[in-house]
C-alpha cells in the first residue's frame, strides 16, 4: 500500500529521562486505511498534510491513518523515553566516572520508541537526522555527520534503510579514526575503556581491513554505505548489530582484562559476521522475518569462513565447534524447533525468538554443505546476482534460489526441502553389536536426508579417519574399534551420539590425539549423548578429569568446563566429589601450561570456578596466584563470585569490592555474586529484579537470575519455583522485547529437577500466554525434562 520516500528526524538528547523527537515522513499511498508505529512517553502533535489529527487515536503503539491515493506528508512531535533495556534509545550512566552515553537499537520493534515510522522491513527509505546533544558529546549515525554549531549535529542522508537498521551513538565516547581502501574507519567506546580500546585497536582494525579485502574479492561489490564505524556500547543485548555505517557491539568485547584466545576469536568472528551483513541483510534485506536466515545463517557462515581464511585466527571453525554447535543442536531438538527457512513468523516480537541456534548455527552448517555441493564459483555468482537484482531493496528465499539456478546450481528443490524447510536433526548412532550406522529422523519432522561425513576410529589409542555416506536408516559399518566418533568435523548436520564403549575408550584415546577439531567433535558428541539422557554424569566428569589436563586448545576448558559445572555436576550422585575432581584437573592444567599463556589463564579460570576451599580462594584474591597469572578485574570478580556460591563472603564485602572498582563490569558481577549467596535474603534480592520491584539494567537482571539458581542451594530456591510460574503470565507487563526472553531464561528454575516442576510447567504452557513467554517456557521445560531423564538414569544405576 505504501512507498516511503524519506524520513527527516530531529532529536533533542539534552534531557535526563526523555528526549524530544520530531519526525517528518514523505510517503505515497495507493489509497486506504493503515497505521503509523509510535510508542512515545507523550505525543504533542500528529499532522497529516498540515492537518492536526486526534491524538486520542493512538492505541498500543499504533496510530490509525486514512491515506487517500497520492503523496502525503506526516509530521509527528513526541516525547520519547530513554531506556535501560538495550532497546530503543538506551541511556547508560557509567559508574566509573558518571558520564552519560546513548545508543540506538531499532531492531525488530524498537524503532517507534525513537521516531514515528512505518516499522516494516520492506518499507525502506532514506533518513536524514538532526540532533541536539550536550556540547561535549559526539554524534555518529548511519551516515557521516558534522557539528554545525556547539551541540548541534547534521547527518547526511542515508541510502534506503529498513527501520530496524537506524541507529545513533551519542555521548563523550573515545574515538579512533583510520582508513582502508577509500573507506573511512572508526572505533569508539566509553572514556573509561579508552585505554583498552587503544590497546585493542590494532587487532580490531587489522581484522576489519582483511575482511573488507576478502568480501570485496568474493563478491566483487564494494561496501556501499560510506563510513564504517564500529561502536562498542554499554549494556547491549546482542553480540552486535549490523547497522549500515555504524555497527554496534557489546562493549565487553573491548578487553579491559586479559582474555583467552578463544574470546579473541569470538570477537573476530563477530566483526566478520557484521561485515558480512553489509551484503547479506543490508544491501538486500529479507522481505519479512520468516526469511531471517537470509541474514543470520549467511553472516554466520561467511563470518567464520572469512575469519579462518584471512585473519590470524585460522582455527575459527574449531572455536565455532565448541561455542555454537550445541547451541544449534539443542534448539533444533526442542518442541519449538522450526525450519531454517520460512519459519512462519507471525510478528516481529514472535520472530525475535527465532534468532536462535537454528537460524545461526544450523543455517551456517547447511550453507557450508551447500557451498561444498555447488562450489565457490556457482555459490558466489548466485549471491552476486541476488545483490545486483535487489540492491537496496528486499527479497525472499525464492529470489535467492532463482539467482543460484541462473548461476548453474541444480537439484536445489530436493536439497532445500530436506535441509532448509524441514525442522529437526537426524540422530546418528553406531550400533557396535550390529555393525551398522543408524540414522533416525525426528518423529515429528520426517525427512530422507543423505549424510556424507567423516568418521574417526580409535584402535589401540591410534586414530584413523574414514569417509562414509549414510542414505538409509541402516548402513553397514563394522570397523575394529575401541571408539568411534561420528562426524567430528561437522561435515553434516545431525545429532551424533556415542555408544557406551566409545565413551569408555575415549578416556585413554582422546588424549592421544593432537587434532583440535577431532577433540571438539568428541566433546560435542558427549554433550549430545548427555542431553539425550543416555550418559551418566560421572562418566562425563571422568572424561573431563582425564582429558582436560592434556588439552592444548583453551576453548575446551573455556566452554566444556562451564557446561559441566552448570549442567552435569548437579545431577551427579556426589556433586562435591565431582567438583573436586574437576578442580584437580583444572589445577593440573594450570601447573603444566606455560606461564603467562592464555591456556594457563583458561585453566586458572576453571580452577577458580571449581574451587571448594575458601582459604585458597582468599589467598588467590590476596595476590598469591601462580606465576604468569595477572589478578585483574575479571579474575577478582570470578573469585568473589565463587566465594559467594560457597557462602564464604558477605554482602558488605561484595559492596566494598564494588566501591573499590565501580565499573559497569563490577556492577554486573556484584549482582551475580549477591544473588549467588546461599541466604534467603539474597534470593529475595535477586527475585526483586525479576518482578521489577528493583529496576536494573539488562546485564544486571541476567546476572541476578543466573546467580540465584545454583545447584546445591535448592532448599533456598525451591519456594521460588511456584512463584516463578505464577509470575510468568503477567511478566510482559514488567519486561518487554529482548529482555523479556532474557528474564525468563535466566530465572527459569533449572535446578528444580522434579516431575512436579515439569508437570507444573506443562500445565502453564496450556494456558493463554504471550508468545515470548510460551516459547521460552516450552524450551526450558524440555531442557528440564532431559535433565530429569538423566536423573532417572543415575537413580537406575545406583
* Dihedral sign of CA atoms 196, 201, 203, 205 in order: positive
Residue 302: count of CB within 10 angstroms of its CB:
26
C-alpha dihedral sign at 205, 211, 217, 221? negative
Helices 316-323, 293-310: axis angle to 10 degrees equals 140
The sign of the dihedral angle between the CA atoms of 335, 338, 343, 349 is positive
Tell me the C-alpha distance between 277 and 299, whole Å: 6
> Active-site residue 274, yes or no?
yes
Quote the distance between the C-alpha of residue 266 and its chain's center: 11
**Is the separation of the CB atoms in 169 and 248 below 8 Å?**
yes
Please list, in sequence order, all residues whose beta carbon lies within 8 angstroms of the beta carbon of residue 567, skipping any fewer than 6 positions away: 530, 787
Task: Give whole-number Cα distances, 492 to 42, 325, 425, 553, in Å.
Answer: 53, 11, 10, 23
Residue 718 has, within 13 A of its CA and on its CB side, a CA count of 7
Q: Which helix (H) or strand (E) element contains residue 370? A: helix 363-374
Closest CA to 677 of 666, 685, 667, 689: 685
Write the CB contacts of 50 (distance below 8 Å, at least 6 apart in sequence): 73
Q: Which residue from 212, 220, 142 is spatially nearest to 386, judged by alpha carbons?
A: 220
Q: What residues are paired with 12 via a beta bridge?
A: 20, 132
**Overall residue count recorded for the chain in this entry:** 798
HSE-CB at 176 with a 13 A cutoff on CA atoms is 20
DSSP state of 37: E
Beta strands in 368-412 (DSSP E): 393-395
* Catalytic-labelled residue, pool 274, 296, 300, 702: 274
Beta strands 426-431 and 436-440 are antiparallel
Query: Catalytic residues, which ones?
Result: 274
Amino acid at each position: 500500500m505504501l512507498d516511503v520516500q524519506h524520513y527527516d528526524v530531529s532529536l533533542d538528547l539534552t534531557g535526563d529521562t526523555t528526549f524530544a523527537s520530531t519526525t517528518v515522513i514523505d510517503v505515497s499511498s495507493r489509497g486506504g486505511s493503515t497505521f503509523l508505529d509510535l510508542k512515545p512517553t507523550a505525543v504533542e502533535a500528529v499532522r497529516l498534510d498540515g492537518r492536526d489529527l486526534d491524538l486520542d487515536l493512538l492505541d498500543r503503539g499504533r496510530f490509525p491513518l486514512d491515506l487517500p491515493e497520492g503523496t502525503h506528508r506526516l509530521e509527528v512531535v513526541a516525547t520519547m523515553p530513554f531506556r535501560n533495556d538495550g532497546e530503543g534509545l538506551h541511556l547508560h550512566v557509567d559508574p566509573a566516572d558518571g558520564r552519560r552515553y546513548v545508543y540506538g537499537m531499532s531492531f525488530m520493534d524498537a524503532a517507534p520508541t525513537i521516531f514515528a515510522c512505518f516499522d516494516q522491513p520492506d518499507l525502506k527509505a532514506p533518513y536524514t537526522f538532526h540532533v541536539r546533544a550536550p556540547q561535549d558529546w559526539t554524534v555518529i549515525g548511519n551516515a557521516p555527520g558534522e557539528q554545525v554549531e556547539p551541540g548541534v549535529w547534521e547527518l547526511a542522508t542515508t541510502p534506503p534503510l529498513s527501520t530496524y537498521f537506524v541507529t545513533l551513538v551519542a555521548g563523550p565516547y573515545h574515538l579512533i579514526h583510520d582508513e582502508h581502501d577509500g573507506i573511512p574507519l572508526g572505533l569508539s567506546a566509553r572514556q573509561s575503556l579508552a585505554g583498552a580500546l587503544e590497546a585493542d585497536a590494532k587487532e580490531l582494525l587489522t581484522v576489519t581491513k582483511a575482511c573488507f579485502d576478502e568480501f570485496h574479492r568474493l563478491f566483487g561489490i564494494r561496501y556501499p554505505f560510506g563510513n564504517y564505524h564500529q561502536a562498542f556500547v554499554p549494556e547491549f543485548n546482542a553480540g552486535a548489530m549490523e547497522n549500515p555505517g555504524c555497527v554496534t557491539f557489546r562493549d565487553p568485547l573491548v578487553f579491559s582484562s586479559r582474555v583467552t584466545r578463544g574470546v579473541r576469536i569470538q570477537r573476530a568472528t563477530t566483526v566478520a559476521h557484521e561485515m558480512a551483513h553489509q551484503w547479506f541483510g543490508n544491501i538486500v534485506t529479507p522481505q519479512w522475518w520468516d526469511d531471517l536466515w537470509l541474514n543470520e545463517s549467511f553472516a554466520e557462515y561467511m563470518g567464520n569462513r572469512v575469519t579462518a581464511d584471512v585473519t590470524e585466527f585460522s582455527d575459527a571453525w574449531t572455536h565455532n565447534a565448541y561455542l555454537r554447535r550445541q547451541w544449534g543442536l539443542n534448539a533444533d531438538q526442542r518442541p519449538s524447533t522450526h525450519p531454517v527457512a520460512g519459519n512462519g513468523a507471525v510478528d516481529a516480537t514472535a520472530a525475535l525468538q527465532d534468532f536462535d541456534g537454528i537460524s545461526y548455527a544450523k543455517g551456517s552448517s547447511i550453507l557450508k554443505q551447500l557451498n561444498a555441493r555447488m562450489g565457490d564459483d556457482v555459490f558466489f555468482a548466485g549471491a552476486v546476482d541476488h545483490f545486483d537484482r535487489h540492491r537496496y531493496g528486499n527479497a525472499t528465499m525464492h529470489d535467492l534460489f532463482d539467482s543460484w539456478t541462473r548461476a548453474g546450481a541444480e537439484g536445489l528443490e530436493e536439497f532445500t526441502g530436506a535441509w532448509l524447510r524441514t525442522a529437526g536433526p537426524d540422530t546418528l548412532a553406531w550400533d557396535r553389536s550390529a555393525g551398522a550406522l543408524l540414522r533416525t529422523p525426528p518423529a515429528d519432522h520426517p525427512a530422507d536426508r543423505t549424510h556424507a561425513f567423516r568418521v574417526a576410529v580409535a584402535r589401540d589409542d591410534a586414530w584413523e579417519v574414514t569417509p562414509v555416506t549414510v542414505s538409509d536408516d541402516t548402513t553397514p559399518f563394522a570397523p575394529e574399534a575401541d571408539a568411534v566418533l561420528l562426524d567430528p568435523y561437522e561435515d553434516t548436520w545431525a545429532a551424533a551420539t556415542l555408544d557406551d564403549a566409545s565413551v569408555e575408550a575415549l578416556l585413554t584415546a582422546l588424549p592421544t590425539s593432537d587434532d583440535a577439531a577431532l577433540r571438539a567433535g568428541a566433546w560435542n558428541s558427549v554433550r549430545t549423548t548427555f542431553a539425550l539422557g543416555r550418559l551418566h554424569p560421572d562418566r562425563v566428569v571422568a572424561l573431563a578429569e582425564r582429558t582436560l589436563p592434556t588439552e592444548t586448545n583453551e576453548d575446551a576448558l573455556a566452554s566444556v568446563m562451564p557446561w559441566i559445572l552448570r549442567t552435569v555436576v548437579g545431577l551427579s550422585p556426589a556433586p562435591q566429589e565431582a567438583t573436586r575432581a574437576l578442580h584437580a584437573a583444572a589445577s593440573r592444567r594450570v601447573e603444566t601450561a606455560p606461564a603467562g599463556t592464555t591456556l594457563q589463564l583458561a585453566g586458572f579460570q576453571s580452577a577458580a570456578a571449581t574451587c571448594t576451599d575458601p582459604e585458597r580462594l582468599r589467598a588467590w584474591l590476596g595476590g598469591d596466584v601462580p606465576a604468569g597469572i595477572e589478578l585483574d578485574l575479571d579474575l577478582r570478580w570470578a573469585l568473589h563470585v565463587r566465594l559467594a556460591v560457597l557462602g564464604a563472603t558477605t554482602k558488605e564485602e561484595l559492596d566494598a569490592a564494588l566501591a573499590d572498582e565501580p565499573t559497569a563490569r563490577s556492577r554486573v558481577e556484584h549482582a551475580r555474586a549477591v544473588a549467588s549467596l546461599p541466604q534467603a535474603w539474597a534470593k529475595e534480592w535477586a527475585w526483586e529484579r525479576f518482578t521489577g520491584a528493583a529496576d536494573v539494567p539488562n546485564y544486571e537482571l541476567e546476572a541476578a537470575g543466573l546467580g540465584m539458581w545454583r545447584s546445591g542451594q535448592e532448599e533456598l530456591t525451591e519456594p521460588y519455583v511456584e512463584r516463578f510460574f505464577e509470575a510468568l503470565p503477567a511478566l510482559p507487563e514488567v519486561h518487554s522485547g529482548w529482555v523479556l526472553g532474557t528474564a525468563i531464561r535466566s530465572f527459569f528454575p533449572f535446578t528444580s529437577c522434579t516431575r512436579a516442576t515439569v508437570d507444573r510447567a506443562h500445565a502453564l504452557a496450556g494456558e493463554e500466554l504471550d508468545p515470548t513467554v510460551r516459547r521460552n517456557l516450552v524450551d526450558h521445560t524440555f531442557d528440564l525434562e532431559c535433565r530429569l531423564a538423566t536423573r532417572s538414569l543415575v537413580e537406575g544405576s545406583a
